[in-house]
Structure 1
Amino acid sequence: MTSPRLADLTTAAVGGPARHYVRAETERAVVDAVAGADAAGRPVLLVGGGSNLIAADAGFGGTVVHVATRGVRTLAEDADGVLLEVQAGHPWDELVARVVADGLAGIEALSGIPGTTGATPVQNVGAYGQEVAQTIELVRAWDRREGRVRTFSPEELEFSYRDSALKRGTVDGSPRHVVLAVRFRLCRGADSAPVRYGELARRLGVEVGGRAPLGRVRDTVLALRAGKGMVLDPADRDTYSTGSFFTNPILPADGLGGRVPAEAPRFPVVDVAGRPLADRVKLSAAWLIDHAGFAKGFGLPGTRNELLGLDGAAVAGGRAALSTKHTLALTNRGGASAEDLMALARTVRDGVAAVYGVELVAEPVIVGTSV
């Protein structure tokens, strides 16, 4: 079969052809594809939903393994909750919709996030006050170095903000440990887990730490995400992206210096158990980008960063731009290349560093090119 272009497998819709391509619909097929490529000495790139990946315009010279496994299995249940095992290729939002409908709480605030379940522990996916680290009980993965299936406890996964041991073992999109399935422990109840995010709490009409009906939380999160162009819509160019491109910077609480003004939003940093880390502070990447002069839509014809004297369309010819709904998303406006997105990312990153002295870090996996 003809190998697809990575542009056809990713939500940013950029990237050249794969030299070898395997669509793996079973765990055995995933392991065989990866092990076969390793035995042949070919580089491996894993693709699930493609929502956190930007691949080079030249494509990928090794084997692209498209993880397309599906399935949700109940391993144990009692009056308080259930233990579910979910295949790595199962679409994430399908899982969230299912558990909310079943009256299971713990991941409802993660509604609308594109991609597959197997990617969530790698990135410790989080939004609106929830992270998957709060509900993951075990990850089962293929260890390419040892040639065997391994299981990882939450402690072994070493979760932190948008990070894990699995992510740190991944180089250029090629992981040492290939996630096969993820186990989640979820609680029974008509109401959500405590709402920890201020914007969500306000929309729900509850105090931070309060609860709301599961379905209402899901619907509210979907509406919030759609308003920011963060729910996939083929008719909306603002959704042709990897979602939030930069992570919110976490810095020493006493190391901000005088360049970040007092009115810049600051958020507490907590560990996986929810304990605050007094010596760290989280800043808003979106606020820094906006206040460094990069408004929504920067990159489109007619846009300009007056603070830094930058013409938006000169960056990538109008083919790549910040979302018109949210400054954290770098979007393909139609016909953009990976290098167009990288040029825009570099411009924003360097501009924020010039104004505030804060280095923004890219969140997606970037293969064959760089910011």
Structure 2
Amino acid sequence: MISEQVPLSSLTTLRLGGPAEYLAECTSTDALVQVIRLLDQHEVPLLLIAGGSNLVIGDDGFKGVVVRIATGGISVSDSVVRADAGAEWDAVVAAAVAAGVGGLECLSGIPGSAGATPVQNVGAYGVEVGSLLRRVHLLDRLTGETRWVEPGALGLGYRTSVLKHSDHAVVLEIELDVRADGLSAPLGYRELSAALGAEQGERRPTAQVRDHVLALRRGKGMVLDPADPDTWSAGSFFTNPVVPEDRLPGVLEAIDSRVGPGVRIPQYPADGGTKLSAAWLIERAGFAKGFPGPDAPASLSTKHTLALTNRGSATTADLVALARQIRDRVEEVFGVRLHPEPVTVGCAI
């Protein structure tokens, strides 16, 4: 189905974005492949949207064809979950839990589509999709061919992959390895373990873990709710920065001078250095929940300083201005530059 001048704000969780010149909705994988091949053959500008949870689209919209991935198939076997790219991610997790298989429960409540999860290497509460991926079905836009690839070919890293930095391939389907015994993956995140009254490394029934993950996420405004502007966001807006080891002493010294010696920022080992908490840096740079205030069109969530939200009347320009203010202040105070997690289209942070 083809529509014209469709507001992209209706297709993103931020509720932002100008009009799409044309919108094509694809409800089957075959149709999706055929439409993309045709548009690429004629060199028509193309934007792919599924769940719209990780997109910041400019106020001028998109001149070309927006292809909405509306495929939704989900299947669960004893050890494999398969999902179409357009399947709602939390529906995939719910199906796995209902079928009595484990591994995905810590990723409950994350908005967006299944196809976006390997692109972002989505993760939460100590689990990343990359650790569960069995294989990914891709359309190669350079050749028009489709093929299944294994996780090792995706360059998976912290909230990134080779798919994120290129538009040469489109995710069509994913398969994930799961546990057939109905128990969760070993609990590896302190906040979740504490909420469950469990030891780290312990395994619990998947439904119990899912319930607690959803409760924790709701408390942070991270589960979509049409009535709650704190959820009109792209989730965590900035990735946790990884500071190279040769720069870490200077950053820690800047932190000491700002907040006082002996106050330790959360630190985690990471490839290329030490990962710091973006939310901690944002708060200590002077930004409180709800900044800049209740009358602002765009603000930090009132529940979580890592989410930038549309309070109902924001433009993309409002959100971008807020993101730049936060990024620049954190860099000025601590010497650490924050990078946005969402993909930007027709705008730049």
Query: What TM-score do you get using the length of structure 2 for normalisation?
Result: 0.94
Amino acid in structure 1 at the alignment position of 2:328? D
What is the SS of the residue equivalent to 1:242? strand
Matched, 1:229 2:221: yes
Q: Distance in 2 between matches of 1:356 and 1:212?
A: 40
**Alignment match of 1:185 (pick from 155, 174, 177):** 177
**Alignment match of 2:105 (pick from 100, 104, 108):** 108
Q: Quick check: 1:266–1:281 contact (8 Å CA) kept in 2?
A: no
Residue aligning to 2:12: 10
Residue aligning to 1:89: 86
Amino acid in structure 1 at the alignment position of 2:314? A
Matched, 1:291 2:284: yes
Residue aligning to 2:55: 53
Residue aligning to 1:156: 153
Matched, 1:202 2:180: no
Q: Distance in 2 between matches of 1:6 and 1:299?
A: 26
What are the superposed Cα offsets for residues 172-199 of structure 1, whole Å, 9 maximum, x if unpaired?
xxx2101000011101123210111111
Residue aligning to 1:338: 316
Residue aligning to 1:120: 117
Residue aligning to 2:274: 281
Amino acid in structure 2 at the alignment position of 1:226? R
Q: Which aligned pairs between 1:299-314 and structure 2 lie closer than 5 A?
A: 299-301=292-294
What is the SS of the residue equivalent to 2:31? helix
What is the SS of the residue equivalent to 1:355? helix
What residue ranges of structure 2 are gaps of 5+ in the alignment?
A: 257-261
Q: Distance in 2 between matches of 1:357 and 1:130?
A: 29
What is the SS of the residue equivalent to 1:221? helix
- The alpha carbon displacement at 1:40 in A equals 2.2
Residue aligning to 1:368: 346
**Alignment match of 1:73 (pick from 61, 70, 75):** 75
Residue aligning to 1:239: 231
What are the superposed Cα offsets for residues 125-162 of structure 1, whole Å, 9 maximum, x if unpaired?
00110100111010001100111002221110111100
Q: Quick check: 1:264–1:287 contact (8 Å CA) kept in 2?
A: no
Q: Distance in 2 between matches of 1:296 and 1:268?
A: 24
Amino acid in structure 2 at the alignment position of 1:66? R
What is the SS of the residue equivalent to 2:225? coil
Q: Quick check: 1:56–1:369 contact (8 Å CA) kept in 2?
A: yes
Bigger shift: residues 187-196 or 348-357: 187-196
- The alpha carbon displacement at 1:254 in A equals 4.0
- The alpha carbon displacement at 1:103 in A equals 1.4
Amino acid in structure 2 at the alignment position of 1:164? S
Matched, 1:259 2:254: yes
Q: Distance in 2 between matches of 1:334 and 1:203?
A: 32
- RMSD across aligned positions (CA): 1.4
Q: Quick check: 2:221–2:304 contact (8 Å CA) kept in 1?
A: yes
Q: Quick check: 1:247–1:285 contact (8 Å CA) kept in 2?
A: yes
What is the SS of the residue equivalent to 1:352? helix
Distance 1:280 1:209, change over 3 A: farther
Q: Quick check: 1:300–1:319 contact (8 Å CA) kept in 2?
A: no
Q: Percent identity?
A: 49
**Alignment match of 2:297 (pick from 300, 319, 343):** 319
Q: Distance in 2 between matches of 1:17 and 1:328?
A: 28
What is the SS of the residue equivalent to 2:79? strand
Residue aligning to 2:259: none
Q: Distance in 1 between matches of 2:233 and 2:74?
A: 28
Q: Distance in 1 between matches of 2:246 and 2:64?
A: 45
Q: Quick check: 1:93–1:111 contact (8 Å CA) kept in 2?
A: yes
What are the superposed Cα offsets for residues 323-343 of structure 1, whole Å, 9 maximum, x if unpaired?
000000000011100010000
Q: Distance in 1 between matches of 2:20 and 2:38?
A: 16
Q: Quick check: 1:6–1:59 contact (8 Å CA) kept in 2?
A: yes
What are the superposed Cα offsets for residues 191-234 of structure 1, whole Å, 9 maximum, x if unpaired?
21011111111111112211222111101010100000000111
